[in-house]
């Protein structure tokens, strides 16, 4: 069988379709046998990776990306880095120049492994058509072995024209439901004997399907549940009575939020910081971390599936009277941004949100809230992530909302073409604050020199419209929000948010 036939058949066996990609000549051989229905074209390489990221977040299975040589990899490095930070399964492929003249460093050659391999668990360059099937399968296994990760495969053009045997290998699975019973008992014993415990949940709680167990867990103990600072996905049900809000990513404020608790059980997450504060983080506090993504930054660590831990611990935990759950802030209806978020909350129930409202994100998480598979943000801090991610999510979920700032939207506005072309049902709300709001805020708090070259204005409606997406522009009253939700197919609503609001993350 010819190499490119093997490639196509292997992708089918592995259920790796669709391929997200943006091809060049080096990829033409790889794609020869791939049907149009199995390929989603993007207009910039990085958008392919962003879409694959969004899709993998929801499917928990490897998504497949095909990039154009070292250039496509290069264009996508921030997205690749973000997927690496998100610890999701993904297989990245690229075509490479023909080995028979690679000595001459032809156009489009360049060592991809050098650029990408720090961010992949498995990286391999196909040597002959005989490798294709096994290597794709191995990349698959590697990416789903916990903790999930990225794989890279390079395909020199000539290898796809060679003949080899097709083995018809089956799609692999790797279990992740691993638990240590002795450890669970040990931890539960400590909880049972503690005075004042609290829980922090992180992204793994949702990634491994543990929110339901977490609710049982907190109910049994009656303890507050905080979300880890800057979780890549909503790690809990924010409507739950035990939900105590998101921890802010600032050492000083984390210390304050958790000052009342003598035992902190951190399940599937970690302490993530953003602006520097002088405080020593949780000094002297007893912290237990349970999960598959162990950093060792703080406290003691137990390596197991966090969802399984939550489930199994219910056997050993004693019910207790319960702690006072910290009161979460009311919506401030005098705040423009909070009113906007309230509208979103009321109009998009059951939607999965890809968030890049940046300086407004804390309000979105607070007011719109989240639950299983319902809230996602680029954890690396990357800008331009949410729109491609939303598009990728929309390949498996018909109810996807992207809430994004104007600055962020402009990074990857080309995603709209793919959304339009494949009729992906993304609803888009662009919060237009005329520039990079979070930077202005940071500048304002720390320096005198406010707003310098961070303010700009773009005719967003024309930009969106130019891609053939139905779009309206509203003031904060968002009278077209119902139109947006019920619109058939993708649509966008631009909201002018011109009132400054009190995002005080940087307040010293």
Dihedral sign for Cα atoms in the order 298, 302, 303, 306? negative
The residue among 161 and 476 lying less far from its own copies, judged by its C-beta, is: 161
Identity of the residue, 328 or 452, whose beta carbon is nearer to its own copies in the bound complex = 452
2 near its own copies, rule: CB under 8 A: no
| 152-171: contacts with its own copies (CB under 8 A) | 157-158, 165, 167
Q: State which of positions 453-472 bind its own copies (CB under 8 A).
A: 453-454, 456, 458-459, 462-463, 465-468
Nearer to its own copies, 136 or 353 (CB): 136
DSSP strand pairing (243-246 vs 263-267) = unpaired
Q: Kindly state whether residue 3 participates in binding its own copies, applying the rule CB under 8 A.
A: no
Compute the least distance from the CB of residue 144 to its own copies, in Å.
Answer: 9
Closer CB to its own copies, 314 or 410, in the complex = 410
Between CA 354 and CA 365 the distance in angstroms is 11
Alpha-carbon distance of 176 to 308, in angstroms, equals: 9
| CB of 49 vs its own copies, minimal distance in Å | 11
Beta-sheet pairing, 300-303 with 286-291: parallel
Minimum Å gap between C-beta 174 and its own copies is 5
Q: Does 10 bind its own copies (CB under 8 A)?
A: no
Contacting residue, 189, 193, 423, 446, with its own copies by CB under 8 A? 446
CA 483/CA 492 separation, integer angstroms:
10
DSSP state of 104: G
Binding-residue pattern over the window 20 to 39 for its own copies, x denoting contact by CB under 8 A? ---xxx--xx-xx---x--x
Q: Is 203 in the site for its own copies (CB under 8 A)?
A: no
Using CB under 8 A, which of 64, 73, 150, 497 touches its own copies?
Answer: 73
Q: Look-up: residue for tokens 């598009």?
A: 391
CB proximity list for 174: less than 8 A, separation 6 or greater:
141, 144, 145, 146
Which range binds its own copies by CB under 8 A, 138-146, 216-224, 330-338, 493-501? Answer: 138-146
Burial 231-264 (b: 16+ CB within 10 A, else e): bbbbbbbbebebbbbbbbbbbbbbbebbeebebb
402: which strand partners? Answer: 354, 428
- Kindly state whether residue 262 participates in binding its own copies, applying the rule CB under 8 A: no
Q: Does 477 bind its own copies (CB under 8 A)?
A: no
Q: Which of 301, 343, 328 is nearest to 202 (CA)?
A: 301
- Closest to its own copies by CB, 348 or 409: 409
Mark residues 98-117: x for contact with its own copies by CB under 8 A, - for none.
xxxxxxxxxxx-xx-xxx-x
**Given the rule CB under 8 A, which of 53-61, 319-327, 449-457, 495-503 is the region that contacts its own copies?**
449-457
Whether 265 contacts 243, CB under 8 Å: no
Pick out residues in 382-401 that bind its own copies (CB under 8 A): 382-384
Phi (first) and psi of residue 218, to 5 degrees: -70, -35
Minimum CB–partner distance for residue 323 and its own copies (Å)? 26
Q: Is the dihedral of CA 290, 294, 296, 297 positive or negative?
A: negative
């Amino acid at each position: 069988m010819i190499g490119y036939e093997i490639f196509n058949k292997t992708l089918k066996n592995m259920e790796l379709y669709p391929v997200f990609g943006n091809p060049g000549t080096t990829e033409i051989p790889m794609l020869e046998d791939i049907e149009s229905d199995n390929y989603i074209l993007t207009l910039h390489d990085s958008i392919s990776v962003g879409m694959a990221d969004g899709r993998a977040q929801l499917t928990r299975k490897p998504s497949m990306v095909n990039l154009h040589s070292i250039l496509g990899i290069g264009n996508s490095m921030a997205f690749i880095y973000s997927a690496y930070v998100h610890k999701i399964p993904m297989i990245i492929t690229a075509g490479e120049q023909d080995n028979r003249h690679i000595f001459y460093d032809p156009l489009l050659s360049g060592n991809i492994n050098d650029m990408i391999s720090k961010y992949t668990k498995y990286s391999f360059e196909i040597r002959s058509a005989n490798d294709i099937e096994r290597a794709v399968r191995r990349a698959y296994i590697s990416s789903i072995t916990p903790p999930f990760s990225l794989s890279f495969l390079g395909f020199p053009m000539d290898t796809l024209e060679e003949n080899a045997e097709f083995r018809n290998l089956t799609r692999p699975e790797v279990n992740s439901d691993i638990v240590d019973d002795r450890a669970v008992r040990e931890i539960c014993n400590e909880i049972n004997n503690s005075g004042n415990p609290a829980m922090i949940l992180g992204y793994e709680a949702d990634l491994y399907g543990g929110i339901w167990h977490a609710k049982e867990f907190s109910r049994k103990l009656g303890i507050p549940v905080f979300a880890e600072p800057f979780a890549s996905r909503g790690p809990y049900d924010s409507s739950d009575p035990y939900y105590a809000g998101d921890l802010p990513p600032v050492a000083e404020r984390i210390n304050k939020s958790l000052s009342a608790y003598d035992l902190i059980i951190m399940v599937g997450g970690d302490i993530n910081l953003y602006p520097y504060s002088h405080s020593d983080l949780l000094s002297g506090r007893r912290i237990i971390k349970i999960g598959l993504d162990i950093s060792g930054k703080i406290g003691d660590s137990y390596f197991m599936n966090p969802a399984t831990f939550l489930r199994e611990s219910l056997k050993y935990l004693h019910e207790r009277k319960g702690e006072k759950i910290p009161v979460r802030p009311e919506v401030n209806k005098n705040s423009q941004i909070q009113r906007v978020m309230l509208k979103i909350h009321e109009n998009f129930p059951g939607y999965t949100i890809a968030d890049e409202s940046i300086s407004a994100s804390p309000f979105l998480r607070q007011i719109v809230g989240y639950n299983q598979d319902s809230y996602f943000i680029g954890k690396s801090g990357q800008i331009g992530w949410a729109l491609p991610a939303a598009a990728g999510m929309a390949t498996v979920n018909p109810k996807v909302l992207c809430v994004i700032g104007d600055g962020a939207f402009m990074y990857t506005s080309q995603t709209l073409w793919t959304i339009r072309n494949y009729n992906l049902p993304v609803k888009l709300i662009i919060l237009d604050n005329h520039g990079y709001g979070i930077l202005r805020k940071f500048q304002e708090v720390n320096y005198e020199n406010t707003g310098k070259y961070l303010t700009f204005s773009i005719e967003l409606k024309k930009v969106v419209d130019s891609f053939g997406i139905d779009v309206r522009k509203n003031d904060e009253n968002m009278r077209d929000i119902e139109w947006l939700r019920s619109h058939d197919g993708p649509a966008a609503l631009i909201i002018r948010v011109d009132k400054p609001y009190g995002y005080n993350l940087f307040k010293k």
